[in-house]
Amino acid sequence: MKSKTIITADDHPILLKGLNDFLLEKGYTIIESASNGKKAFELIEKHHPDIAILDIQMPGLSGLEIAKLCNNQKIKTKIIIITFHKEASLYFEAKELNIYGYLLKDFAIEEIENCISSVLENRPYFSKKIKDLLQLKSDSNQFLIDLTPSERKILKLIASDKTNKEIADLLFISPRTVEKHRSNIIQKLNLEPKTNALLIWAKENQEHIKL
């Protein structure tokens, strides 16, 4: 498992060295490192590593922007984001981009081995510590863990009594795409597929739906 290839990138030299030293000591193969986002993406394009461990905020390109480029170019490198930032918006953007790992730098060394092992088995690893910090474990906010930003936006509009066509027009997508999102939301919220079940749930939980 540890023979899999890794690229690391961080614009803080001491943090990058600390991460690399730890991973090398644990037997992982780091093929190259970068100190900015542009170089990091160039290395990903060049080597197509199994994993890229990226700082979320770097000169040139951010870790999230690199993830978008990888998605657009269908590069199969699995992205792990490490960050000092604790904003919920960044967490949910990472979810939307299908990023495989998301760690706080405060606990990165503590969690990175478990994260890499999970990612290499195609299981996303979003740190429980950041979920706790964002209060994503409470019953009223449980759905926030799984819903993407697009799904939360649609759920908010459903709670406002918008029809599929109205939602489609507002978001510049097709009614069929809205319906697909609705189906995904129902599944993630574990709702029974009854008429108006999603509308009733959305209205009852409207104050918890955050964009």
Give the domains, in start order, of the chain with CATH numbers.
Answer: 5-133 (3.40.50.2300), 139-208 (1.10.10.10)
Please name which of 140, 145, 150 lies closest in space to residue 128, comparing C-alpha atoms.
Answer: 145
Q: What is the pLDDT along the chain (211 residues), one digit of tens a residue?
A: 566 899 999 999 999 999 999 999 999 999 999 999 999 999 999 999 999 999 999 999 999 999 999 999 999 999 999 998 877 778 878 887 889 999 999 888 899 999 999 999 999 898 888 777 765 544 445 565 678 889 989 999 998 989 999 999 999 999 999 999 999 998 888 777 776 888 878 887 777 676 6
Q: Is the dihedral of CA 122, 76, 1, 107 positive or negative?
A: negative
- For residue 44, give every residue at least 6 positions away whose Cβ sits within 8 Å of its Cβ, in sequence order, or none: 7, 52, 66, 70, 75, 77
In one letter, which amino acid is 122? N
The pTM of the full predicted model, rounded to 2 decimals, is 0.67
